[in-house]
């Protein structure tokens, strides 16, 4: 029943995509398509939520599609149900936003047909229960999102972004094909059920893990495979960016969890160390890159890289505990990772919606050309502020809860027997704290430069508040962030089933705790109560306001800014995004970005303007991708010779190849 | 009955930190002045300043937004809540389980987030410079603080401050190298977080090195009073934190008789006085450092925290 209903939703989405091909240019088409998608997502969300909470046994269905001897298997267990909830909640919000935002779309026929197909692809990946269906849906998702990235292919760097995305997506799928090949073994048991039961050869698990990291990690944005993400995610229309950053990266996390936790089913200290190291590096490198960006959407995309790193830290911790049979600790870390997945899908969507609103209102994405929008976009700024607080892991919003749980998991690490892990995990905890603090810096900068201060351009000075659908979506997402932050116990209890399914144990039920607080291990050890924190803050703030208004002077006078006596009316004298990030660039960037500042100060009497030049390099791009690209080009250049041979030479080449193959066959033991 | 007693202790604690915070700042200033052979203002001067500020009219920049006004109250509220959750004279506060040490630090992070935003609201260069440097310092201080928390949690087996204080008073904990490192790291973080010398100078204006004062430059009147009391509360919070963790002697256990509470309060006041004198001594003895030396200073705190944690991994008895 569950699977059938979900498959009908998917079929409806696919049909909607087909219809949109013909109807995209008509008036009202965009409202119809997004409305239809919203309906499908709501149904799918309800069905998946029911499957997640009801605890019914996994539902399965087989369709006579795909490989003739295999068929297409679909199955919704608790893990799939959780990710379906995340996908359809995020997609539903994006659809609602799209109803308003899509009206400004200059090329609807390039967006509308692919959008429902993209949603269908993401749902199918999570439901797939055999390798073929999984990979096919995975490619479906990749290609439809690629088409959406290329919607405005003539603008700026979008064509290059699409090209790099395509290459990285193909690479990722290749790694996944190999991983599934290894899991299926020589008999070709491509159904997931067969893979779970299979006994593996000893050298295999680590290789499968690495291939899963390459395949799913490249889609999720793990460093060093993240390069496509900050190019491709911002290139798409904003609600699609929200989907790609908030939701599609979660599908990639699902792929990794499915392969490593479920299908592979065993872990070693080594594998967890690899995942932890990659997660820690991703978190810090992602957020440092985000701090250096001036394009708002690119900043958000890099911050996605950071959050994916945090999710992988949680997964790595869980693997470490699992490999040592510490079920409860593994459940705690895994819950933290899933909670981070859920939370990130909410606040990242919210922030991308905010970026879309800024883009609609001003036509600008560059924060150095914005400013003072809090006066013009009053409501958008409130929602964006909520998202910024949430993503900076500040109480009482939801980002803090998942990071807090992760710190609690880190604190259990001394009980691990392996020395390497014992020493590594506190350092990873330090990196986690560093990335949280830098993330707060990053969003102080983003909100401060864009919404506060004085407008830097006429476009920013004349911005108009966006439409009601966009505002409603942003406030819905912000409300969900707040609710998830003050009632985390309910969420943790909701995650019991998927956690139990994959780690074999679960956190103690939280609903029984007094006052809805959460206590991961025992109350004497650590506990947190978001609701009371919010109430206390609200209470003491109101008390402060009441006392002040009762006893203090109420006089208020508006005057020019003080600025130590030297206010300058020109908005250019404000701090910019670049100058705000300068101290952090100086502290962290001299190694990571090879940042060099050159100051040219003309001597007295010289009328030349002084100048400051900053050069930064992306070491990963220069050291890994550019050489690889050159290598491929050089190889292609060589192979190009084969294109211009005579027929005689081709025939002799074919003959030679035949002889060689026969020789190999003859000599093969 | 026990609940009412706990609630009472909690309320007394909330009022106490609020009342004591300006006094503590006043004492530090007075001791510093005496050390510099000045007479110095009365220890009650901060109260007078606050009263004067709330009676004055607010002069707000023309383009200041709602955030600028709201932030002052939010900064005060979050700092107050955080300060009320650190055990001062008694453990077993009614709401101590609301937030553990990690959450208390994060609450201070929320306050800082709003303060940094308020600094950028008017769009002046001083506000920007303050916010930008504040987040740079925070990005180093927070990981160092977290590593200190790790060290403490490994010794105490808990991140709950009440439990920590109870465990650390036990005689079997004794003197430990790791705790010593954590103490030094915590003091360094506290100095940086509270904008004290050598990281920042709380008594300066019109200096390119200022951080905290640059952010709050545009504030005046009652809003400035809120910011000032929040800053005092934060300083008191850190001193109480250090006292609660590293000098937990004499802290009253839950359910003790009234006399014990009075003794606990007296001992707490003595600890605060000692803290004020030490802080003033330290601040007079050291020169302010350049902003770009601060990362080295906090990097030291980070390394000490990490080293303390690693020592505990080597052996629980260090």
Q: Are A73 and A60 in contact (CB under 8 A)?
A: yes
What are A245-259's pLDDT values in tens digits?
999 999 999 999 999
Q: Residue A481 and residue B192: Cα distance in Å, rounded?
A: 31
Q: Among candidates A93, A114, A574, which has minimal Cα distance to A351?
A: A93
Nearest chain A residue (CA) to B64? A453
Contact residues, chain A, for B225 at CB < 8 Å: 548, 552
**How many C-beta atoms lie closer than 10 Å to residue A30's C-beta?**
24
SS3 assignment, position A29: helix
For residue B266, the distance in angstroms to the closest alpha carbon of chain A comes to 27
Residue-wise DSSP of chain B: -HHHHHHHHHHHHHHHHHHHHHHHHHHHHHHHHHHTT-----TTHHHHHHHHHHHSPEEEETT--HHHHHHHHHHHHHHHHHHHTS-SSBS--TTGGG--HHHHHHHHHHHHHHHHHHHHHS--HHHHHHHHHHHHHHHHHHHHHHHHHHHHHHHHS-S-HHHHHHHHHSTTT---HHHHHHHHHHHHHHHHHTT-TTT--TT--S-TT-SHHHHTTT--HHHHHHHHHHHHHHHHHHHHHHHHHH--TTPBPTT--HHHHHHHHHHHHHHHHHHHHHHHHHHHHSPPPPGGGHHHHHHHHHHHHHHHHHHHHH-TT-
Per-residue pLDDT at B109: 95
Q: Residue A394 and residue A410: Cα distance in Å, rounded?
A: 19
For residue B92, the distance in angstroms to the closest alpha carbon of chain A comes to 11
Q: Are A524 and B158 in contact (CB under 8 A)?
A: yes
What are B44-83's pLDDT values in tens digits?
999 999 999 999 999 999 999 999 999 999 999 999 999 9
Q: Per the omega criterion (within 30 degrees of 0), is the bond before B198 cis?
A: yes
Per-residue pLDDT at A630: 95
Per-residue pLDDT at A198: 61
**Average pLDDT of the segment spanning A508-521:** 80
Q: What is the largest CA-CA distance in chain B?
A: 61
| Cβ pair B98:A441 closer than 8 A | no
Question: Is it the case that residue A267 has pLDDT exceeding 90?
Answer: no
What end-to-end distance do the CA atoms of chain B give, in Å? 42
| Cβ pair B61:A558 closer than 8 A | yes
Dihedral angle over CA of A402, A406, A407, A410, nearest 10: 180
- Which residues have C-beta within 8 Å of that of residue A153, sequence separation ≥ 6? A159, A162
pLDDT band, very low/low/confident/very high, at A521 (cuts 50, 70, 90): confident
Q: Residue B117 and residue B131: Cα distance in Å, rounded?
A: 7
| Cβ pair B103:A395 closer than 8 A | yes
What share of chain A in percent tops pLDDT 90?
Answer: 68
Nearest chain A residue (CA) to B229? A544
Report CA-CA distances (Å) from A525 to A317, A612, B14, B204.
19, 52, 24, 42
Q: Residue A434 and residue A388: Cα distance in Å, rounded?
A: 17
| Cβ pair A392:B55 closer than 8 A | no
What are A29-55's pLDDT values in tens digits?
889 999 999 999 999 999 999 999 988
SS3 assignment, position A424: helix
Q: Tokens for A1?
A: 């029943």
Nearest chain B residue (CA) to A284? B139
What share of chain A in percent tops pLDDT 70?
Answer: 99
**Average pLDDT of the segment spanning A488-492:** 91
pLDDT band, very low/low/confident/very high, at A203 (cuts 50, 70, 90): low
For residue B236, the distance in angstroms to the closest alpha carbon of chain A comes to 18
Q: Are B112 and B134 in contact (CB under 8 A)?
A: yes
Domain ranges of chain A: 154-532, 619-667
* A644 vs A476: which has the higher pLDDT: A476
Taking the CA atoms of A465, A466, A467 and A471 in sequence, report the sign of the dihedral they define.
negative
| Cβ pair A573:B125 closer than 8 A | yes
| Cβ pair A559:B62 closer than 8 A | yes
Q: Residue A259 and residue A502: Cα distance in Å, rounded?
A: 11
Taking the CA atoms of A281, A283, A286 and A288 in sequence, report the sign of the dihedral they define.
negative
| Cβ pair A575:B313 closer than 8 A | no
Per-residue pLDDT at B226: 95
Q: Tokens for A14?
A: 């696919």
pLDDT band, very low/low/confident/very high, at B176 (cuts 50, 70, 90): confident
What end-to-end distance do the CA atoms of chain A give, in Å? 51
For residue A353, the distance in angstroms to the closest alpha carbon of chain B comes to 21
Residue-wise DSSP of A428-495: HHHHHHHHHHHHHHHHHHHHHHHHSS--SSHHHHT-----HHHHHHHHHHHHHHHHHHH-HHHHHHHT
Mean pLDDT (chain A, rounded):
91
Q: Residue A65 and residue A55: Cα distance in Å, rounded?
A: 29
| Cβ pair A400:B74 closer than 8 A | no
**Average pLDDT of the segment spanning B144-170:** 87
| Cβ pair A452:B120 closer than 8 A | yes
Chain A 319-378, CB below 8 Å of chain B: which residues? 371-372, 374-375
Interface test with B, best of A410, A433, A449, A549 (most B CBs within 10 A): A433
Per-residue pLDDT at B83: 93
* HSE of A513, CA atoms in CB hemisphere, 13 A: 29
Per-residue pLDDT at A526: 84
Q: Among candidates A212, A214, A174, which has minimal Cα distance to A195?
A: A212
Interface test with B, best of A332, A460, A529, A533 (most B CBs within 10 A): A533
Taking the CA atoms of A652, A654, A659 and A660 in sequence, report the sign of the dihedral they define.
positive
Per-residue pLDDT at B191: 94
Contact residues, chain A, for B310 at CB < 8 Å: 423, 426
Per-residue pLDDT at A318: 95
For residue B35, the distance in angstroms to the closest alpha carbon of chain A comes to 30
Q: Residue A399 and residue B113: Cα distance in Å, rounded?
A: 14
What share of chain B in percent tops pLDDT 90?
Answer: 60
Residue-wise DSSP of A480-495: HHHHHHH-HHHHHHHT
Chain B 277-306, CB below 8 Å of chain A: which residues? 291-292, 295, 302, 305-306
For residue B214, the distance in angstroms to the closest alpha carbon of chain A comes to 9
Q: Residue A588 and residue B21: Cα distance in Å, rounded?
A: 36
Helices and strands, counts by H and E, chain A: 28, 5
For residue B48, the distance in angstroms to the closest alpha carbon of chain A comes to 14
Q: Residue A667 and residue A451: Cα distance in Å, rounded?
A: 72
Q: Among candidates A211, A220, A219, which has minimal Cα distance to A177?
A: A211
| Cβ pair A540:B80 closer than 8 A | yes
Q: Tokens for A666?
A: 């003859």
- Which residues have C-beta within 8 Å of that of residue B25, sequence separation ≥ 6? B46, B231, B232, B235
pLDDT band, very low/low/confident/very high, at B318 (cuts 50, 70, 90): low
For residue A605, the distance in angstroms to the closest alpha carbon of chain B comes to 26
Question: Is it the case that residue B163 has pLDDT exceeding 90?
Answer: no
Pairing of β A72-76 and β A59-63: antiparallel
Contact residues, chain B, for A553 at CB < 8 Å: 54-58, 221-222
Long-range contacts of B265-274 (CB under 8 A, 24+ apart): B265/B16, B265/B89, B267/B89, B268/B88, B268/B89, B268/B240, B268/B243, B271/B239, B271/B243, B271/B247, B272/B20, B272/B24, B272/B27, B272/B236, B272/B239, B272/B240, B272/B243, B273/B27
**Average pLDDT of the segment spanning B252-257:** 77
Contact residues, chain A, for B158 at CB < 8 Å: 524-526
Q: How many CB pairs under 8 A join A and B?
A: 278
Pick from A389, A559, A575: CB nearest B120: A575
SS3 assignment, position A79: helix
| Cβ pair A429:B150 closer than 8 A | yes
Q: Which of A524-538, A602-616, B33-47, B78-92 reaches the highest mean pLDDT?
A: B33-47
| Cβ pair B306:A427 closer than 8 A | yes
- Which residues have C-beta within 8 Å of that of residue A615, sequence separation ≥ 6? A594, A595, A596, A598
pLDDT band, very low/low/confident/very high, at A409 (cuts 50, 70, 90): very high
Q: Residue A382 and residue B70: Cα distance in Å, rounded?
A: 12
| Cβ pair B128:A580 closer than 8 A | yes
**Average pLDDT of the segment spanning B182-198:** 93
Contact residues, chain B, for A454 at CB < 8 Å: 63, 123
Pairing of β A596-600 and β A611-615: antiparallel
Per-residue pLDDT at B161: 87
Chain B 43-62, CB below 8 Å of chain A: which residues? 54-62
**Average pLDDT of the segment spanning A528-555:** 91
Per-residue pLDDT at B257: 81
Contact residues, chain A, for B206 at CB < 8 Å: 564
SS3 assignment, position A99: helix
Q: Residue A434 and residue A430: Cα distance in Å, rounded?
A: 6
Mean pLDDT (chain B, rounded):
89
Q: Tokens for B51?
A: 């009263």
Taking the CA atoms of B193, B250, B84 and B306 in sequence, report the sign of the dihedral they define.
positive
For residue B261, the distance in angstroms to the closest alpha carbon of chain A comes to 23
Pick from B73, B112, B132: CB nearest A544: B73
Please, where are the H alpha helices in A236-295? 238-242, 249-257, 269-292
Per-residue pLDDT at A400: 95
Pick from A429, A452, A557: CB nearest B123: A452
Q: Residue B166 and residue B70: Cα distance in Å, rounded?
A: 38
| Cβ pair A434:B139 closer than 8 A | yes
Per-residue pLDDT at A413: 84
Report CA-CA distances (Å) from A69 to A132, A152, A179.
11, 41, 21
| Cβ pair A559:B55 closer than 8 A | no
Pick from A392, A400, A556: CB nearest B57: A556
What are A152-166's pLDDT values in tens digits?
988 888 999 999 999
Pick from B132, B146, B226: CB nearest A429: B146
Contact residues, chain A, for B143 at CB < 8 Å: 430-431, 433-434, 437
pLDDT band, very low/low/confident/very high, at A201 (cuts 50, 70, 90): low
Pick from B62, B125, B135: CB nearest A440: B135
Question: Is it the case that residue A82 has pLDDT exceeding 70?
Answer: yes
Q: What is the largest CA-CA distance in chain A?
A: 101
pTM: 0.95
Per-residue pLDDT at B172: 73
Q: Are A271 and A206 in contact (CB under 8 A)?
A: yes
Per-residue pLDDT at A144: 95
Interface test with A, best of B17, B110, B305, B310 (most A CBs within 10 A): B110
Size (chain A), residues: 669
Contact residues, chain B, for A393 at CB < 8 Å: 106, 109
What are B199-215's pLDDT values in tens digits?
888 777 656 667 888 89
* A255 vs A523: which has the higher pLDDT: A255
């Amino acid at each position: 029943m569950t699977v059938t209903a979900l498959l009908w939703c998917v079929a409806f989405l696919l049909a909607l995509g087909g219809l949109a091909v013909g109807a995209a240019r008509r008036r009202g088409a965009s409202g119809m398509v997004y409305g239809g998608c919203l309906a499908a997502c709501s149904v799918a969300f309800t069905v998946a939520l029911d499957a997640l909470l009801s605890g019914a046994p996994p539902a399965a269905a087989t369709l006579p599609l795909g490989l003739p001897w295999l068929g297409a298997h679909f199955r919704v267990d608790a893990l799939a149900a959780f990710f379906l909830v995340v996908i359809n909640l995020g997609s539903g919000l994006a659809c609602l936003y799209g109803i308003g935002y899509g009206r400004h779309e200059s090329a609807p026929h390039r967006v509308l047909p692919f959008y429902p197909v993209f949603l269908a692809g993401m749902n199918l990946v999570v439901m797939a229960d055999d390798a073929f269906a999984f990979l096919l849906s995975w490619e479906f998702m990749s290609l439809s999102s690629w088409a959406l990235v290329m919607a405005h292919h003539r603008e700026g760097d979008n064509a290059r972004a699409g090209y790099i995305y395509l290459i990285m997506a193909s690479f990722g799928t290749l790694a996944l094909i190999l991983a599934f090949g290894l899991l299926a073994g020589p008999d070709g048991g491509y159904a997931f059920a067969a893979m779970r039961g299979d006994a593996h050869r000893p050298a295999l698990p680590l290789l499968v893990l690495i291939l899963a990291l390459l395949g799913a990690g490249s889609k999720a944005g793990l460093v060093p495979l993240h390069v496509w993400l900050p190019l491709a995610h911002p290139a798409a229309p904003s609600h699609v960016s929200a989907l790609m950053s908030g939701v599609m990266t979660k599908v990639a996390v699902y792929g990794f969890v499915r392969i490593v936790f479920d299908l592979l089913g065993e872990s070693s200290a080594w594998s967890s160390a690899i995942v932890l190291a990659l997660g820690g590096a991703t978190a810090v490198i992602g957020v440092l890159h985000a701090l250096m960006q001036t394009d708002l959407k690119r900043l958000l995309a890099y911050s996605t890289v950071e959050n994916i790193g945090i999710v992988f830290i949680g997964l790595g911790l869980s693997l470490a505990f699992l490999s040592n049979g510490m079920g409860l600790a593994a459940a705690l870390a895994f819950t933290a990772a899933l909670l981070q997945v859920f939370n990130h899908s909410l606040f990242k969507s919210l922030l991308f919606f905010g970026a879309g609103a800024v883009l609609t209102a001003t036509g600008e994405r560059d924060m150095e050309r914005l400013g003072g929008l809090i006066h013009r976009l009053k409501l958008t700024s409130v929602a964006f502020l909520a998202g910024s607080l949430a993503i900076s892991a500040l109480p009482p919003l939801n980002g803090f809860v998942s990071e807090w749980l992760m710190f609690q998991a880190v604190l259990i690490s001394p009980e691990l027997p392996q020395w390497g892990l014992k020493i590594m995990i506190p350092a990873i905890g330090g990196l986690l704290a560093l990335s949280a603090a830098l993330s707060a810096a990053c969003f102080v900068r983003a909100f401060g430069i864009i919404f506060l201060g004085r407008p830097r351009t006429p476009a920013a000075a004349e911005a108009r508040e966006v439409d009601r659908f966009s505002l409603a979506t942003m406030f819905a997402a912000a409300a969900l962030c707040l609710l998830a932050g003050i009632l985390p116990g309910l969420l943790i209890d909701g995650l019991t089933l998927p956690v139990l399914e994959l780690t074999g144990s679960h956190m103690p039920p939280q609903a029984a705790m007094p006052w809805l607080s959460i206590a991961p291990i025992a109350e004497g050890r650590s506990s947190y109560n978001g609701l009371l924190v919010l109430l206390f803050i609200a209470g003491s703030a109101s008390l402060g306001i009441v006392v002040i208004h009762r006893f203090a002077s109420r006089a208020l006078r508006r005057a020019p800014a003080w600025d130590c006596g030297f206010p300058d009316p020109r908005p250019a004298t404000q701090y910019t995004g670049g100058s705000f990030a300068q101290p952090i660039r100086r502290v962290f960037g001299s190694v990571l970005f090879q940042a060099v500042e050159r100051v040219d100060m003309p001597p007295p009497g010289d009328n030349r303007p002084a100048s400051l030049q900053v050069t930064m390099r992306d070491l990963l791009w220069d050291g890994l991708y550019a050489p690889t690209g050159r290598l491929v080009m050089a190889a292609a250049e060589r192979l190009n010779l084969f294109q211009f041979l005579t027929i005689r030479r081709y025939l002799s080449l074919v003959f030679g190849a035949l002889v060689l193959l026969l020789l190999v066959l003859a000599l093969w033991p | 009955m026990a609940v009412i007693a706990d609630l009472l202790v909690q309320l007394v604690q909330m009022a106490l930190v609020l009342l004591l915070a300006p006094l503590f700042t006043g004492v530090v200033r007075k001791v510093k002045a005496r050390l510099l052979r000045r007479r110095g203002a009365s220890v009650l001067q901060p109260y007078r300043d606050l009263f004067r500020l709330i009676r004055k009219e607010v002069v707000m920049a023309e383009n200041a937004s709602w955030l600028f006004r709201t932030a002052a109250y939010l900064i005060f509220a979050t700092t107050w809540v955080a300060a009320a959750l650190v055990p001062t004279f008694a453990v077993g506060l009614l709401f101590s389980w609301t937030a553990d040490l990690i959450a208390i630090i994060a609450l201070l992070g929320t306050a800082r987030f709003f303060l940094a935003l308020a600094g950028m609201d008017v769009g002046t260069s001083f506000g920007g410079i303050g916010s930008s440097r504040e987040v740079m310092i925070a990005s180093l201080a927070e990981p160092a603080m977290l590593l200190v928390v790790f060290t403490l949690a490994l010794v105490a087996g808990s991140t709950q401050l009440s439990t920590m204080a109870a465990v650390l008073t036990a005689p079997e904990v004794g003197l430990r190298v790791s705790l010593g490192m954590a103490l030094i790291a915590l003091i360094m973080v506290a100095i940086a977080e509270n904008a004290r010398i050598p990281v920042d100078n709380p008594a300066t204006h019109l200096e390119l090195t200022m951080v905290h004062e640059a952010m709050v430059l545009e504030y005046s009147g009652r809003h400035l009073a809120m910011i000032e009391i929040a800053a005092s509360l934060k300083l008191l919070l850190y001193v109480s934190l250090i006292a609660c963790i590293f000098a937990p002697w004499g802290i009253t256990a839950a359910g003790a008789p009234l006399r014990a509470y009075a003794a606990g309060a007296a001992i707490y006041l003595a600890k605060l006085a000692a803290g004020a004198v030490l802080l003033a001594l330290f601040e007079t003895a050291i020169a302010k450092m350049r902003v770009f030396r601060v990362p080295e200073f906090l990097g030291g705190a980070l390394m000490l925290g990490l080293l303390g944690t690693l020592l505990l991994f080597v052996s629980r008895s260090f």
